[in-house]
Amino acid sequence: MPSAKVIPIDPDATEYVRLLGGPPETVTMHSGLVVLEPGASVGVHNTENYEEVVVVLDGVGKMKITGGPELNLKASTMAYCPPRTEHNVTNTGSNTLRYIYIVANAER
């Protein structure tokens, strides 16, 4: 059984940092800190059987859902991406985009 914990987040991180690695650390959750420079993107990928939340810490960007909406991202907002959804996050601003993603298995 996973245990309660506090996970420090490095405010000066300049690249991806894993925060939660999944079982046995959690039941199904994975998360990480993503850092994107202006114009950069994470690349198109699919959530498969996971649902995903993106919590924006700094900067602005867009989450493009294939066949769906384009979501505007900015500091202090959160975006939800359903399971089995192809998407991409791009930094559309002039400063660094920093966000935390959290995914959990939606098909238990």
Which CATH number is 17-105's, of 2.60.120.10, 2.60.40.10, 3.40.50.10490, 1.10.8.60? 2.60.120.10
Residue 107 pLDDT more than 80? Answer: yes
Check whether 26 has a pLDDT greater than 70.
yes
What does the pLDDT read at residue 108?
Answer: 64
Res. 8: pLDDT tops 80: yes
Report the pLDDT value the prediction gives residue 6, as an integer from 0 to 100.
96
Q: Which of 98, 57, 102, 55 is nearest to 78 (CA)?
A: 55
Sequence-separated contacts (24+) of 75-80 with Cβ below 8 Å: 78/53, 78/54, 79/53, 79/54, 80/51, 80/52, 80/53
| Tens digit of each residue's pLDDT (9 = 90 or more) over 37-96 | 999 999 999 989 999 999 999 999 999 998 899 999 999 999 999 999 999 999 999 999
